[in-house]
Amino acid sequence: MEKNDNILITGASGFIGLNLVKNLEKNGYRNLRLTSNTRDTRETPQYESHKGDLRDAEFCKTVTEGIDVIFHCAANTSNALDTKFNPLIHVTPNLEMNINLLEQAWKNKVSKFVFLSSSTVYPDMGDEKLSEENKINGTELIPAYKAVGGMKRYTEELCEFFSNTINDPMQCIVIRPGNAYGQFDKFDFEKCHVTPASIRKVAEKMDPIPVWGDGKDVRDLIYIEDLVDGILFVAENTNSFDVINVCHGEAYSVNEVLDILKGIANHNTELEHVDNKAFMVSIRRMSNDKIKKMGWHPKHTIKEGLEKAYHWYKNNTHRYNSESKL
């Protein structure tokens, strides 16, 4: 990648997309084009912005014209309840936008395409860390992840096809991120994931703090600034098709996260464990050995990341009171 490359960031009004735009700007990239769907791009009025639906091939054609590098951060996302009870929310719209964007990018001779996949593509590995060396083809997806994991697996295969099989190939890179948290995340209890929900519960000094299930579910948690830094590092240092985990490399339980947050907030109260409404999988650890060997590692400890995320939310609660879709 060159600093004067024309770069497209899809989903630039979303959690990862917005933070990636800020990271690109910090690192000297200025020729940025942004897309969003239902809401305006935030915090970045200085860049060319297009609002539209990536399921529309004509829109994809327009926004990829003259582009050198694409970071595809746009996705139809939801929380654990939707994953269980409305799984198709992850399938049809995402496949439509992924296929259209890849095809139009290739037709417009984009040189590099970075796709944000998911750890849901991995089978159940128990307490073992999920590694890119784990072969996923032919393995059973975790039942709760069949919709989203299957969609991501198929898009990864498309990325490999556009990189290695089609005539005049387009280099694609697949990123499998850890569970990110931090500024500009969703904090709506109806839509957000467990870590931002935990941050909000502690920040609002709930007493007791309600926790789904026993709080022992374990996930790799990565602070958003580290995630987008890792995504850019991979894009700058990978010159052929590859699949790379960008994660913290250490995993933490919901209870551990809440204990750290309670210490940050000086909020000494009890946890109230309630019936788990949407069981997913108890343990998902991820390996970052591959990217560390390339020369990258996360800069924030779990406490440092949670402290930044907590104070950002405390200083920005007005955004969530006035902008329900944020």
* pLDDT computed for residue 79 by the predictor: 55
Dump pLDDT digits (tens) for 207-232: 999 998 889 999 999 999 999 999 99
Residue 274's pLDDT is: 85
Residue numbers in the chain where pLDDT is lower than 50: 322-326
The letter for the amino acid at 21 is V
Residue 33 CB neighbours (<10 A): 20
Q: What is the pLDDT of residue 83?
A: 58
Distances in Å between the Cα of 283 and the Cα atoms of 121, 125, 197, 251, 279 are 15, 9, 19, 9, 11
187 to 120, 132, 194: CA distances (angstroms): 22, 31, 9
Expressed in percent and rounded to 5, the helix, strand and coil fractions of the chain are 40, 20, 40
Domain positions in the chain: 7-322
pLDDT in tens, 146-180: 999 999 999 999 999 999 999 999 999 999 999 99
CB 234 within 8 A of CB 246: yes
Q: What is the pLDDT of residue 210?
A: 92
pLDDT at position 80 is 56
Give the fold, CATH level 3, of 7-322. Answer: Rossmann fold (3.40.50)
Quickly tell me which residue has 């099989």 as its tokens. Answer: 165
Helical (H) or strand (E) element with 175: strand 171-177
pTM of the model: 0.93
pLDDT value of residue 279? 58
Phi, then psi, of 298 in degrees rounded to 5: -65, 145
Nearest to 114 by CA among 231, 262, 217: 231
